[in-house]
Structure 1
Amino acid sequence: MADDLGLFGPDSVSWRVHREPVLWLAGIRALYLQALHPRAVAGVVQNSDIRRDCWPRLMRTAEYVGTVVYGTTEQAERAGRRVRRIHDRLRAHDTVTGEEFRVDDPQLLRWIHVTEVESFVSTARRARIGLTDDDIDRYYTEQTRAAALVGLDPDTVPAGAAAVEEFYRTIRPELRLTREARDVARFLTVPPMPTKVLAIGRPAWLGLATTAMALLPRWARRLYRLPGLPTTDVAASLTILGLRGVINALPIREGPIYREAMRRADAVRAGQELAI
């Protein structure tokens, strides 16, 4: 495993995008977006208590993404198997038709995957991380490997910016602001806070959540009964640029998964130089 650089490696767009701490905003944005699919949000609400499990759930999701992007191939595949085992036993009921459906239905998995990766790459671009159009297409193509981990056929997953836009165009008629979506959005905006950090944590989180909501596509903001104005996009971009500057100036330590990935990459690079 010492020379296993995982699914992507240091030359990938995925490594470049996900090393940015400001991408936490993209994760929140993705959750707002995912809630607009009635079956996706029903699958979450009917199979978990997000009010009691919100912070551990966010931490587990962040750890999963970090493992898939920066872990070894074996670590990423093991994380994927764990997710597939959990999804395999979960069922939910359509709140309109009453029909039972599997949480790992491929259409739902595609929705979750696309909203996640599109949130990451669009947020990265708004933060001016320096992605070209070719970089964005490469990122989407790379991330089809991550889609395969949760059980999707990579050939059925949008692998470029144009394909992602087409996916959104075709699925938008299915999206709506259900009662469950409204409850989840409200909860994401004002989640419970530990008493010790309530005074500082709540205003800080509210600012992050408001920015994440403003980063949504205009059509998604309109579904939430919010203005879909170009000026909102401009304000959100300026906010995330400022946040990126502040966050990058802080003495934030990288996580162990990232540090280990950098160690393996340095070792491989050193070995290649010796071979030359």
Structure 2
Amino acid sequence: MDVIRRGSEVLRNRVGSQLFAQVAGPDGPRNRERIHQSPGPRWFGPERAIRVVHGDAAMFVGGLRALLLQSLHPLAMAAVAAHSGFRGDPWGRLARTSTFLAVTTYGTADDAETAVAQVRAVHTRVTGTAEDGRPYRADDPHLLAWVHAAEVDSFLTAHQAFGAQPLTRNECDAYVRDTARIATALGVAQPPLDVEQLRAVLDRFRPELRATAAARDAARFIVKEPPLPRAARVPYKALTANAVALMPAWASLALGLPTAPRLLAPMTRRSGDVVTGLIRWAMAPPASSRTPPAPPSTGR
């Protein structure tokens, strides 16, 4: 039994290290140590709901859903298509997003403020004109409100479906309230403070949303054409299938995303349970350490 246990631990460490390196980038280990080991006050204590959500493997599903949902705002999609470099460097973008979420969720208050300032500085340089002739800028509070609402709704929806510790209703409200602190720092005016307000924000944006050619192209890239090694394609397909399954039906239809027949829905859900469970197992901290891994996600 000891041999089996040691072999399992070696395999877990190997898979977890590879996955963490892919998600967090070459600076991941150094960033993780700074985030979790630096002394000082944090924006969020260990008991806060945001730590539960952002530290769970369900974020892999939530991050994919967030990208797909966010693309439905023509101005947000225009900014991403022109400035994010998601096609040329998707893993670099993922690493930057993952690090931002980890720093603001788990890092010191000083580091969180620095990370926010860096993002805001980048936003001031992201300007342009969408294909319909409307100008956009990434620091527009209205556009930031959409990106934030779509992200928070996606993370929470995925967590409630696949998280190891689904939240109660009050805890869901607490999670939305926690994320509002980061949103306010980034420039969102009056972000939602509970689930009811979050739903109201999403409903208000509905008339502005549509699938542009750029959005459908991005959806195809995310779902069907990611630059992945062969061994990662099957679990990735399970993640994307569940991200799509958690999307509003009208959104999936607009983006031309494949949806599983209703009879196959339980199989799709089961695949999500299996893959997120494997990721959770692989990325669990070593038995000798209580330091949680940097939360993997996409989004900003």
Instruction: Report the TM range for the smaller structure's normalisation.
Output: 0.7 to 0.9
Count of residues in Structure 1 that have an aligned counterpart in Structure 2: 252
Counterpart in 2 of 1:199? 230
Counterpart in 2 of 1:272? none
Are the equivalent residues in 1 in contact too, given 2:283–2:293 (CA < 8 A)? no
Counterpart in 2 of 1:99? 134
Q: Are 1:224 and 2:255 matched, yes or no?
A: yes
Question: Secondary structure in 1 aligned to 2:65?
Answer: helix
Are the equivalent residues in 1 in contact too, given 2:127–2:135 (CA < 8 A)? yes
Structure 2: gaps (5+ residues): 1-37, 295-300
What amino acid is aligned across from residue 234 of structure 2 in structure 1? P
Deviations 1:115-134 (A, max 9, x none): 11111111111115231111
Are the equivalent residues in 1 in contact too, given 2:184–2:191 (CA < 8 A)? no
RMSD: 2.5
Counterpart in 2 of 1:208? 239
Q: Are 1:179 and 2:213 matched, yes or no?
A: yes
Q: How far did 1:3 drift?
A: 4.0
Q: Are 1:164 and 2:201 matched, yes or no?
A: no
Counterpart in 1 of 2:10? none
Q: How far did 1:243 drift?
A: 2.5
Q: How far did 1:94 drift?
A: 2.2
| TM-score normalised by length of structure 1 | 0.82
In structure 2, the CA distance between the partners of 1:82 and 1:233, relative to structure 1 (3 Å rule), is farther
- Structure 1 CA distance, aligned partners of 2:254 and 2:226? 25
What amino acid is aligned across from residue 220 of structure 1 in structure 2? A
Counterpart in 2 of 1:90? 126
Q: Are 1:13 and 2:45 matched, yes or no?
A: no
In structure 2, the CA distance between the partners of 1:251 and 1:184, relative to structure 1 (3 Å rule), is closer
Q: Are 1:245 and 2:281 matched, yes or no?
A: no
Q: How far did 1:137 drift?
A: 0.6
What amino acid is aligned across from residue 157 of structure 1 in structure 2? P
Question: Secondary structure in 2 aligned to 1:50?
Answer: coil
Q: How far did 1:251 drift?
A: 5.7
Question: Secondary structure in 1 aligned to 2:180?
Answer: helix
| TM-score normalised by length of structure 2 | 0.76
In structure 2, the CA distance between the partners of 1:200 and 1:91, relative to structure 1 (3 Å rule), is same
Q: How far did 1:210 drift?
A: 2.1
- Structure 1 CA distance, aligned partners of 2:202 and 2:235? 31
Identity of aligned residues (%): 32
Counterpart in 1 of 2:95? 59
In structure 2, the CA distance between the partners of 1:202 and 1:244, relative to structure 1 (3 Å rule), is closer
Deviations 1:106-161 (A, max 9, x none): 111011111111111111111152311111011101111110221223xx111111
Structure 1: gaps (5+ residues): 263-276
Counterpart in 2 of 1:130? 166
Counterpart in 1 of 2:111? 75
Q: How far did 1:26 drift?
A: 0.8
Deviations 1:238-271 (A, max 9, x none): 33323333333336448xxx93899xxxxxxxxx
User: Among 131, 149, 163, which residue is 2:185 paired with?
Assistant: 149
Are the equivalent residues in 1 in contact too, given 2:55–2:292 (CA < 8 A)? no
Identify which range, 106-115 or 241-250, moves more after superposition: 241-250
In structure 2, the CA distance between the partners of 1:109 and 1:140, relative to structure 1 (3 Å rule), is same
